Amino acid sequence: MPVPPLRISKLDALLFRAPIEEPLRTSFGVLTSRPALLVRAEDADGAVGWGEIWCVFPPCGAEHRAALVESLLAPIVTGEDWPGPAAAYDAMTRRTHVMMLQGGEPGPLAQAIAGVDIALWDLAARRAGLPLWRYAAGDAIKSDGTMPVYASGLNPGRPEIIAAAKQAEGYSAFKLKIGFGEQTDLANLRMLRRALGNDAQIMVDANQGWDLETAMRISPKLHEFGLTWLEEPMPCDRPADEWLTLANTSPVLLAGGENLRSDRDFDALIKSKTVPYVQPDMTKWGGFSGCLPLARRIIKAGLTFCPHYLGGAVGLMASAHLLAAAGGNGLLEADANPNPLREGMLRTPPPIRDGRMILGDAPGIGSEPDLEGLAEFRVGQAPVHTV
């Protein structure tokens, strides 16, 4: 049976901000509130799909990305017949290319396009009556809709406390923020390993905080903790020979990729084999249309696909469905810090049992945002583009 085309009649950008008691610290900045920028796509028959746009840093950037959806992307997407989400993704990418060059902001545009793309895939899966992971995988399905989850974003201040709480919930893998000074980083790792035991998986994330010399000096000192990976030890734009040098000398395997935003950059990273754990963020670049074929190339190359994610619940669910659709043995990143835009956003969030998320068979991403429950966190009323 032929699949009817997608005809989008309305595209909304909905922005939320939630205050947090404990700031989230990285090596390059501090987050004092949690934002979430959702995309709502409605077709001519009233069916709805949801996406999310990365908007964590800079703190003032969420409003700008919402404006990009309304002013640039909605006029492209609405009112056309699309054979599928990938066709709309290609059109958005192609028709904003010169604007991206002229404005000098490839990141915000790529993020806005990614969020719209996710919403279109969710809508298409809901229309088909399939969970998004099954719809996206098609005949290439290699998953049962479950995957291991790791507790991410452990802050440098007493990380063992929140890690122990997550371990009690069934988590067995954890990621610590580092890059706050060698003594602080090593002390936190000692406390974390002591609290979690030798069987727990521990990863660390320097958030691009070191240069090559620092990374080469510190990485051998991390070996004793039995780490699964060292994430983004250097800025992602450092020359390939620096990454090769570090990969050849570090006793801890490297991870990265969340800040790359093109097939060319990812394919160069895959070819180099310097980063065994490749971590594209589908809300920063690619959505499903770009990241699903990328994930399959990562797995085919013998590397591990582990989607990066830090944001609200819609993006987390999309990342989970992407990982399930791609298959492989990667882990799903789930921020361990309190965030009402993650914990309270979905009406029926998926269960996590024994450290694994269970997606189930509900259509699309499996749930819809509880807009009434989130009303206190809504920021303004973003413009709506309709046809």
DSSP string across 71-127: IIIHHHHBT-EESSHHHHHHHHHHHTHHHHHHHT-HHHHHHHHHHHHHHHHHHHHHH
CA 279, CA 285: separation in Å to the nearest integer?
A: 11
Q: Are 336 and 152 in contact (CB under 8 A)?
A: yes
Q: Where are the domains of the chain?
A: 6-129+372-386, 136-358
CATH fold for domain 6-129+372-386? Enolase-like; domain 1 (3.30.390)
Pairing of strands 48-53, 304-305: unpaired
Q: How far is CA 302 from CA 108, 184, 295, 297, in A?
A: 31, 35, 11, 9
- Confidence band for 139, pLDDT divided at 50, 70 and 90: confident
Q: Are 66 and 13 in contact (CB under 8 A)?
A: yes
pLDDT in tens, 10-37: 999 999 999 988 877 887 778 788 999 9
Question: Of 149, 82, 162, which Cα lies nearest the Cα of 323?
Answer: 149
pLDDT in tens, 49-91: 999 999 998 888 999 999 999 999 999 999 999 999 999 999 9
Give the pLDDT of residue 3: 66
87-96, 136-145, 332-341, 376-385, range with the lowest pLDDT: 376-385
Answer whether 6-129+372-386 and 136-358 agree in fold: no
pLDDT in tens, 279-310: 999 999 999 999 999 999 999 999 999 999 99
What's the chain's average pLDDT? Answer: 94
CA 166, CA 333: separation in Å to the nearest integer?
A: 13
pTM: 0.95
DSSP 33-78: EEEEEEEEEEETTS-EEEEEE---SSTTHHHHHHHHIIIIIHHHHB
Q: Are 71 and 91 in contact (CB under 8 A)?
A: no
What number is the average pLDDT over the span 240-248? 98
Q: Bin 191: left if φ > 0, else alpha if -120 < ψ < 50, else beta.
A: alpha
For the 136-358 domain, the top CATH level (class) is alpha beta
